[in-house]
């Protein structure tokens, strides 16, 4: 039987956080044997906010290194760069013509980003979900593993695909969102009611995958908790502690009950230390592999070139079919 197809991606907006790792990458790694996986660097999506061009190029390569360092085997997965496959922007134009302004207006990511970048509410930011739908539909993806925050974008992708299919007959596979059981939403350390985000301005709010052990300890020490001094899971009233428990639980594979038991009668100081050490232990092998790869740009290039080639072939076939269906002349 043919393997089911997975596609996902991450924007090249900066160094990845523990949230990206636990919510996305860590789940991808678990899927690489069972599925035919396509993982891209969403560099075109990154352009929806202002970037320094050199930074963007650097972040794109760093991200490829992080994918591999986190455990994605380039021989098993198709790792590629979105902008290298013209079919993404080509399909995006077509799908724009099948997407309503009203639908895009409801996207919470658009509202959030528009509020954050009030001086640059560009139309790319508005049509971001249409490009994302193109990314997914070009590969006939069955499953799209993402964090909770991307669920709405998957819903609009399905709506666009269904609309297109109902006009032109079966064309696109309708993808399912896959949200991992754990790590779906890691919150900020300083503001535990908002998700940890790699583009957050406050460095204390996020743990980067490349942070040193000292930095991780420092950030955990300063993480916002509450005055109860009791390790108890209660997302509503104790968002800070609950978030740290969530992180610890994923890394140590422990339930919230088990963690409460482990830290019964112990204060936040001891608990935070344990969380910091767990993170450090998990990230160490990843960082070693990352440091090795980043010194070797030729190897990174070979990885994405191989991925680009495979991705392009598949995407072009689907794009051609769409061109034909809507009435464009194809050879």
Interface with ligand ATP (CB under 6 A): 10-11, 13, 17, 19-20, 23-24, 146-147, 149-150, 183-186, 195-199
Residue from 6, 79, 87, 132 binding ligand LTN (CB under 6 A): 132
19 binds, among ligand LTN, ligand ATP, none (CB under 5 to 8 A by kind): ligand ATP
195 binds, among ligand ATP, ligand LTN, none (CB under 5 to 8 A by kind): ligand ATP
**Using CA atoms, how far apart are residues 226 and 221, in angstroms rounded to an integer?**
13
Active site residue 320: no
- Binding status of residue 250 toward ligand LTN by CB under 6 A: no
Residue from 6, 11, 113, 303 binding ligand LTN (CB under 6 A): 11
The beta-carbon contacts of 160-168 under 8 Å, at least 24 apart in sequence, are 160/95, 160/98, 160/99, 160/130, 160/133, 161/133, 161/137, 163/98, 164/95, 164/98, 164/322, 167/98, 168/325, 168/326
Which residue in the list 3, 111, 173, 198 is annotated as catalytic?
198
Active site residue 254: no
Minimum Å gap between C-beta 196 and ligand ATP is 4
- Binding status of residue 146 toward ligand LTN by CB under 6 A: yes
Is residue 150 within 8 Å of 185, Cβ to Cβ? Answer: no
136 binds, among ligand ATP, ligand LTN, none (CB under 5 to 8 A by kind): ligand LTN
Minimum Å gap between C-beta 108 and ligand ATP is 12
Name the nearest CA neighbour of 232 among 224, 241, 222.
Answer: 241
Active site residue 252: no
Residue corresponding to tokens 């994605």: 72
Q: For 137, phi and psi rounded to 5 degrees?
A: -75, -25
Query: Strands across the sheet with 36-42, in order?
Result: 78-81, 36-42, 5-11, 143-145, 176-178
Is residue 191 within 8 Å of 223, Cβ to Cβ? Answer: no
- Binding status of residue 104 toward ligand LTN by CB under 6 A: no
Applying CB under 6 A, which residues contact ligand LTN?
7-11, 42, 45, 132, 135-136, 144, 146, 150, 153
Catalytic residues, by residue number, are 113, 195, 198
């Amino acid at each position: 039987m043919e393997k089911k197809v997975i596609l996902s991606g991450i924007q090249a907006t900066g160094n990845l956080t523990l949230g990206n790792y636990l919510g996305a990458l860590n789940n991808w790694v678990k899927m690489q044997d069972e599925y035919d996986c396509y993982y891209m660097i969403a560099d075109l999506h990154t352009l929806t906010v202002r970037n320094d061009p050199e930074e963007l190029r650097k972040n794109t390569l760093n991200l490829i290194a992080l994918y591999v360092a986190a455990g994605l085997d380039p021989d098993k997965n198709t790792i590629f760069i979105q902008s290298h496959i013209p079919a993404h922007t080509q399909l995006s134009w077509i799908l724009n013509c099948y997407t309503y302004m009203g639908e895009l207006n409801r996207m919470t990511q658009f509202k959030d980003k528009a509020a954050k970048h009030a001086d640059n509410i560009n139309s790319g930011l508005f049509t971001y979900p249409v490009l994302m739908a193109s990314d997914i539909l070009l590969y006939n993806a069955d499953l799209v593993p993402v964090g909770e925050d991307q669920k709405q974008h998957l819903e609009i992708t399905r709506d666009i695909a269904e609309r297109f299919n109902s006009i032109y007959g079966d064309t696109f596979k309708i993808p399912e969102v896959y949200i991992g059981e754990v790590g779906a939403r890691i919150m900020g350390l300083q503001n535990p009611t908002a998700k940890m985000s790699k583009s957050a301005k406050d460095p204390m709010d996020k743990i980067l995958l490349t942070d040193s052990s000292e930095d991780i300890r420092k950030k955990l020490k300063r993480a916002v908790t509450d005055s109860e001094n009791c390790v108890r899971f209660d997302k509503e009233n104790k968002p800070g502690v609950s978030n740290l428990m969530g992180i610890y639980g994923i890394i140590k594979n422990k339930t919230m009950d088990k963690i409460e038991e482990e830290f019964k009668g112990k204060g936040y100081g001891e608990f935070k230390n344990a969380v910091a050490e767990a993170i450090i232990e998990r990230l160490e092998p990843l960082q070693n592999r990352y440091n090795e790869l980043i010194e070797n740009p030729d190897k990174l290039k070979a990885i994405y070139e191989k991925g680009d080639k495979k991705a392009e072939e598949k995407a072009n076939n689907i794009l051609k079919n769409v061109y034909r269906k809507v009435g464009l002349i194809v050879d």
